[in-house]
Structure 1
């Protein structure tokens, strides 16, 4: 699969949105089947004229005669999700960075509590605008409309301490030490994280380590070297986490995944 992934052209959006991609009928993407693995993004997909069946670890999207717009989100998953597109689909999928969705929606905590849902409709004008954007055939204009819409909803909020905590969690510093350094108990930090990130600090770090290992793998000579370079305690720790997050061991995973592609969170 070779979907083109776009980074925001508007600088005001880059701290909050990682990027987005489009799926349109009549392209190489008419029939897709892939697995996607845990990440720390908040993902919103908007589709026109489809039916969506969502099961625990499986998402099936089919064309529908009804030209209604459906919007779903995924904020948290800890095992692979199988995604199938059965026919030509019109879709936009947007990846919000950790904390990013908080700058567009005042209180996303209720969304985080559900992890995933088929009824993402945060604003009264959301569906009409998404419908217009999906119906735009010119890709350049489509991108301008999409980014202009999200820019209109941007409300920058102060998360200075949490930004620092996120940065620290991507290091080897102990979570308890991170919490105390910012004047929090570990329990309070976990509660706060679940409210604004949708997962615990432990889970965030675990997924970050996993993603770091994927990014580092092509430059490593062995699993042992990869383990230490990606903040795992040892090779056994890496294998354990990979089996939990991908359902296979690292060797099998890396045989099937192209680690050179840009969208490392989305794999065939």
Structure 2
């Protein structure tokens, strides 16, 4: 399993957290690989340049997914491939959605769309360029140029909300909605409305997603579940267990065992 990130160009850094690559060559005893995408407050553009993945759906159907965009989500999905694979992606702040794609973030939450469905011929052309690129540095250049072009006529219109979303993601401290609204000189009602427009979820839900992300980053540090829950701001361990199960589909005891689907790259 090979996982690494590529830094975006300076002009995209306010909007794109990183480009990333995940590659894996099947061993002789491997028949399939299942990846579980957990709930996440950010957005991912994803290109399967080697082997497609099928989404595993509860009714038994499978949706072939070659490239697309997975918007901010408060649920998890499962995907499977039976071949060695290579994936290139971009990890994007949710407030960038209106500027890259001219749609409010709150209209896209929990959506996962094929790129040509979402962007039409422009998306299809981008997919072809990414798929046929010689290496992942070239893929990063192609996607960066595409995103930069879409920013030429769009800039952040509400810096305070973008800053507040970044504050929730990167600060690590537990805040109330009232504290955040006051910090950015907005009434609670105004803040809640604007935050949802640009983050895709209410501030309360978004803080739950970020708190979960911070907790899951404790993989492999040998801390007890109780300590992780306390350090990440959960009221008690039962609250922690509830959120991990809701957003990943696993009991935290199993998720932190290192055996959960789609976590292998964390250990390379």
Shared fold, TM over 0.5: yes
Shift in Å, 1:135: 1.1
**Kept in 1: contact 2:56–2:80 (CA 8 A):** no
Change (3 A) 1:181 1:22: closer
Q: Give the distance between the partners of 1:6 and 1:201, measured in 2 at CA.
A: 28
- Residue 179 of structure 2, aligned match among 177, 182, 187: 177
Structure 2 residue 125 is matched with structure 1 residue 136: no
- CA deviations over 1:171-206 (Å, ceiling 9, x no partner): 222112322443434343333222211111111111
Change (3 A) 1:183 1:15: closer
Q: TM-score, length-normalised on structure 1?
A: 0.76
User: Whose helix proportion is higher, 1 or 2?
Assistant: 2
Change (3 A) 1:142 1:222: closer
Instruction: Name stretches of at least 5 consecutive residues in structure 1 with no aligned partner.
Output: 64-69
Change (3 A) 1:16 1:237: same
Instruction: Name stretches of at least 5 consecutive residues in structure 2 with no aligned partner.
Output: none
Partner of 2:46: 45
Partner of 1:112: 108
Aligned residue for 2:68, secondary structure, equals strand
- Residue 241 of structure 1, aligned match among 235, 239, 243: 243
Q: TM-score, length-normalised on structure 2?
A: 0.76
Correspondence 1:15-164 to 2 at 5 A? 15-22=14-21, 27-28=25-26, 31-47=32-48, 55=57, 60=62, 62=64, 71-87=67-83, 92-109=88-105, 111-112=107-108, 115-118=111-114, 120-122=117-119, 124-154=121-151, 155-164=154-163
Q: Give the distance between the partners of 2:61 and 2:84, measured in 1 at CA.
A: 15
- CA deviations over 1:55-109 (Å, ceiling 9, x no partner): 479994659xxxxxx6432223323311112446675432212323333223244
Shift in Å, 1:244: 1.7
Q: Give the distance between the partners of 1:229 and 1:71, measured in 2 at CA.
A: 37
Change (3 A) 1:91 1:242: closer
- CA deviations over 1:186-241 (Å, ceiling 9, x no partner): 34333322221111111111111111112235446323322221111222221221
Aligned residue for 1:4, secondary structure, equals strand
Change (3 A) 1:90 1:121: farther
Change (3 A) 1:22 1:28: farther
Q: Give the distance between the partners of 2:203 and 2:59, measured in 1 at CA.
A: 23
RMSD: 3.6
Partner of 1:67: none
